[in-house]
Structure 1
Amino acid sequence: MTAVRGTSVGIPTQDGTADAYFAHPDDGAAHPAVLLYMDAFGLRPQLTGMADRLAEAGHTVLVPNVFHRHGSAPVVPLPEFIGDADRPALFERIVPLMGGLTSDVVARDSAAYLDWLAGRAEAVTGPVGVSGYCLGARLALLTAGHHPDMVAAAAGFHGAGLATDAPDSPHLLADRITAELYFGHADNDPSMPPEQIERLDKALTEAGVQHRSDVYAGAEHGYTMADTNRYDAEAAERHWTTLLELFGRAL
């Protein structure tokens, strides 16, 4: 198993410093870089563990706290295990934070994250991969659209609101994307219903974007997150296989 070095870092942005977790193989070499976007529950051990797994597979990984304008992680304190009874109170605090992540804000922040990665000796020079979960899937798609010259591959898992009627819906950037994309949608997910999946695929196809969308049958929204009751071990492993294959091809 590859030894991994993980540290807490600060990323300068136009709106202050974003705290983040940075992981890479502990071998002194440069490796393909990955920007990993958290889900709505935030930067926590579940996310740092996922970054470590990517680093073990040979990647240099940055996981920013995208709610950094509201403080360092954990911005919203969490129980060790998140169940259905915890969700209403948590989302009462989280939803306003999510609302602040407009397309313009994401464009600025993602530029800062990508520039920081580009300056690291641990990262191979050139385009990076992006992976996002829940809220993070939206951020991954926006990042691919705002920075086509810097993103070679992007993936979103149990994403929410990827192709809405809003004027800044991420799918409207399809004609700017040059990355290869993959989406692993949750089955029966009200935050990404079939009509949005269809709208997203149609926009990407018409724009000539290389992409694939799968619906993970039986998997609920949040299926990759082992610290929640929505975790699905089989779907999570499928996500890892597909994600590493994508980055292996594109990076």
Structure 2
Amino acid sequence: MTAVQGTAVDIPTADGTADAYLAHPDDGAAHPAVLVFMDAFGLRPQLRSMADRLAAEGYTVLVPNLFHRHGRAPLFDLPEYIDPGARPEMFERIVPVMQTLTPDLAMRDADAYLNWLDGHPAVADGPVALTGYCMGARLSLLTAGTYPERVAAAAGFHGGRLATDTPDSPHLVADKVTAELYFGHADQDPSLPEEQIRRLEEALTSAGVRHRCEVYKGAPHGFTQADTASYHREGDERHWSALLDLLKRTFRPQSTPLDGKLTAYRR
């Protein structure tokens, strides 16, 4: 197992300083960068652990506090094991904070995160990869479409509201995406109904985006987060396999790539 160095870092943005977690192999070398967009529960030990696991695979990983305008993480008083069913009142604090992070603000921040990675000695030259969870899946897609020349691959897991009928829906950037995309949807996720899954697939296919969208049967919204009641071990293991395969294809040309504009929509 590769030794990993993890540190807290501060990133200057147009709207103040964003605190973040940076993890990379402890070997003094530069590695491909992965920008991780958090879920609504925020930057916490679970996401740091996920960053460490990615770093151990040979990547430099940045997990910013997307809610930095409201303060440094942790913003919310969360238990070690998060069960929203037992504490529904926690969303009374979280949802209003989520709603303040508009697509425009999020993409302004993404520019700052990408700039910061570009100048860090632990980051190899070239475009980065993205992955996002829950609300972070939306930002992964938006960033891939907003900064196509800077993003080589992007993934999203148990994302919600990916293809709505609003004018700022993430799927509307599909025609600007040049990266390879992967989405692992939660089965019967109320935040991503079948209609939106089809709309996303149609938009990516029509735009000629290399992509794969899969629905994980039996996996609830939030299935990758081991510190929550939504955790689904089988879905999480499948997520790691899909994400690491995407990164290997992206950063290791000798690996077998997808053929042309191949798409595969699977249940």
Kindly provide the CA deviation profile for residues 11-56 of structure 1, in whole angstroms up to 9, marking residues without a partner as x. 1000000000000000000111000011110000000000000000
The Cα of 1:75 is off from its aligned counterpart by 1.0
Query: RMSD in angstroms over aligned alpha carbons?
Result: 0.8
Q: d(CA) in 1 for partners of 2:44 and 2:51? A: 11
Count residues in correspondence.
251
Question: Which residue in 2 is equivalent to 1:84?
Answer: 84
Question: Which residue in 2 is equivalent to 1:130?
Answer: 130
Question: Which residue in 2 is equivalent to 1:95?
Answer: 95
Q: Does the 8 A contact of 2:84 with 2:90 survive in 1?
A: no
Question: Which residue in 2 is equivalent to 1:161?
Answer: 161
SS at match of 2:88: helix
Which AA in structure 2 matches 1:238? Answer: R
226 and 145 in structure 1: CA distance in 2 versus 1, 3 angstrom threshold: same
Which AA in structure 1 matches 2:146? Answer: H
SS at match of 2:48: helix
The Cα of 1:250 is off from its aligned counterpart by 1.1
SS at match of 2:231: coil
Instruction: Structure 1: give runs of 5+ residues left out of the alignment.
Output: none
Q: d(CA) in 1 for partners of 2:243 and 2:85? A: 31
- Identity, % of aligned positions: 67
Instruction: Structure 2: give runs of 5+ residues left out of the alignment.
Output: 252-267
Structure 1 runs of 4+ with >4 Å offset: none
The Cα of 1:85 is off from its aligned counterpart by 2.9
Provide the TM-score with structure 1 as the length reference.
0.98
Question: Which residue in 1 is equivalent to 2:66?
Answer: 66
Which AA in structure 1 matches 2:210? Answer: Q
Q: d(CA) in 2 for partners of 1:87 and 1:142? A: 31
SS at match of 2:61: strand
Q: d(CA) in 2 for partners of 1:245 and 1:234? A: 17
The Cα of 1:86 is off from its aligned counterpart by 4.1
Q: d(CA) in 2 for partners of 1:85 and 1:224? A: 18
Q: d(CA) in 2 for partners of 1:170 and 1:114? A: 19
Provide the TM-score with structure 2 as the length reference.
0.93
Question: Which residue in 2 is equivalent to 1:111?
Answer: 111
Kindly provide the CA deviation profile for residues 164-193 of structure 1, in whole angstroms up to 9, marking residues without a partner as x. 111101001111110100000000100011
Question: Which residue in 1 is equivalent to 2:21?
Answer: 21
Q: What does residue range 1-251 of structure 1 map to in structure 2 within 5 Å?
A: 1-251=1-251
- Of 82-91 and 12-21, more deviation after overlay is shown by 82-91
